[in-house]
């Protein structure tokens, strides 16, 4: 299994120069300030509120997201302080991290706009599943859901033909998604997404899960941290639910790794069907 640190530091890797040529956006200063406060012995909601409020555009976007039907429920926050009170500092930080990612990586191209819409839906599904199955922390699941495919827009910026590679890989019923990326570009979106996660100071479990989120053999690897395996398993369920919601007959990724995910999570076929139906209803209930 690859070490995320080695991906960023190895000078012996024959594709190291290529990876360094891919622009990994630096961590936003606002995110660094948030993380610094969260890592303190006693994180202050008031300090976190002031950090977020220092960026008017981001604070407005955060309030809108926090008050959406998925996160806000019946309580509507009128200020960042209320949003922190209703959702908790970790969930607010996770939402803010996602908003900063969207602004930093960009959404000015139509394909990237749809990419972020899909990433947002995946993050919501991950939060739902984490809470429903009582696995891991919802804010960690949310962050992973948003960031697991962030390597995609970065590779689109680097390689003119990457969009075709992505489409071909998405329609391959047998090989791992990353196999064709490696074959054509000598790297893949999981590796690049892992580098971004590390550069942005995200947790090691999120970085590891991003690196292996389409390597389903990791679900059977007992040497891998359970938090990582859980994120990978839940992401397969989220992907299947999204495909169903979009009207597709099935999910090729679920076909590749669903049996392993079900076994790891201890879920029967009926359990999976019920969860997918619940997620489908939650997607429809957003509006």
Q: Is the pLDDT of residue 108 over 70?
A: no
Q: Is the pLDDT of residue 133 over 80?
A: yes
- pLDDT at position 248 is 82
119 CB-near residues (< 8 Å, 6+ apart): 98, 145, 146, 149, 150
% the chain with pLDDT above 90:
63
- pLDDT at position 283 is 82
Q: Is the pLDDT of residue 151 over 60?
A: yes
Query: Cα–Cα distance between 202 and 225 in angstroms, integer?
Result: 16
Calculate the average pLDDT of the chain. Answer: 88
Match 């995200």 to its residue by tokens.
202
End-to-end CA distance of the chain: 42
The counts of H helices and E strands in the chain are 18, 0
Backbone angles phi, psi at 75, to 5 degrees: -90, 130
Query: Cα–Cα distance between 267 and 264 in angstroms, integer?
Result: 8
Cα angle 260-237-247, degrees, rounded to a multiple of 5: 125
Per-residue pLDDT averaged across 224-245, rounded? Answer: 94
- pLDDT at position 32 is 94
Query: Cα–Cα distance between 34 and 57 in angstroms, integer?
Result: 16
Q: Is the pLDDT of residue 166 over 80?
A: yes
Q: Give the ranges where 134-188 is alpha helix by DSSP (H).
A: 138-147, 151-158, 162-170, 177-185
- pLDDT at position 180 is 95
Count of beta carbons in the 10 Å neighbourhood of residue 71: 18
Q: What is the pLDDT of residues 57-71, one digit of tens each?
A: 889 988 988 888 777
% the chain with pLDDT above 70:
89
- pLDDT at position 246 is 85
The 3 state secondary structure assigned to 29-64 is HHHHHHHHHHCCCCCCHHHHHHHHHCCHHHHHHHHH
Q: Is the pLDDT of residue 115 over 90?
A: no
Q: Is the pLDDT of residue 17 over 80?
A: no
Q: Give whole-number Cα distances, 18 to 22, 118, 136, 187, 220, in Å.
A: 7, 28, 35, 8, 31
Per-residue pLDDT averaged across 171-196, rounded? Answer: 94
Q: Is the pLDDT of residue 6 over 90?
A: no
């Amino acid at each position: 299994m690859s070490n995320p640190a080695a991906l960023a530091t190895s000078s012996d890797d024959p594709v190291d120069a290529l990876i360094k040529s891919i622009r990994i956006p630096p961590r936003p200063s606002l995110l660094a300030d948030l993380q610094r406060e969260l890592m303190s012995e006693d994180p202050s909601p008031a300090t976190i509120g002031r950090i977020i409020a220092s960026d008017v555009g981001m604070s407005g976007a955060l309030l809108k997201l926090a008050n959406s039907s998925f996160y806000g429920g019946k309580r509507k926050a009128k200020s960042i302080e209320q949003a922190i009170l209703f959702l908790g500092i970790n969930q607010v930080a996770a939402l803010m991290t996602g908003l900063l990612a969207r602004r930093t990586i960009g959404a000015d191209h139509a394909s990237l706009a749809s990419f972020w819409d899909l990433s947002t839906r995946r993050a919501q599904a991950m939060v739902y599943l984490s809470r429903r199955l009582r696995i891991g922390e919802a804010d960690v699941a949310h962050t992973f859901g948003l960031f697991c495919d962030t390597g995609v827009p970065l590779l689109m910026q680097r390689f003119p033909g990457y969009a075709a590679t992505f489409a071909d890989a998405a329609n391959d019923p047998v090989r791992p998604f990353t196999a064709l990326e490696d074959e054509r570009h000598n790297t893949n979106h999981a590796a690049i997404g892992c580098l971004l996660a590390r550069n942005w100071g995200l947790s090691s479990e999120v970085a590891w899960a991003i690196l292996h989120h389409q390597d389903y053999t990791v679900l059977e690897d007992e040497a891998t941290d359970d938090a990582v395996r859980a994120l990978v398993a839940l992401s397969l369920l989220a992907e299947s639910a999204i495909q169903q919601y979009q009207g597709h007959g099935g999910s090729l990724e679920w076909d590749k790794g669903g049996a392993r995910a079900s076994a790891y999570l201890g879920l029967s076929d009926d359990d999976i069907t019920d969860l997918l139906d619940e997620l489908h209803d939650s997607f429809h209930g957003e509006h």
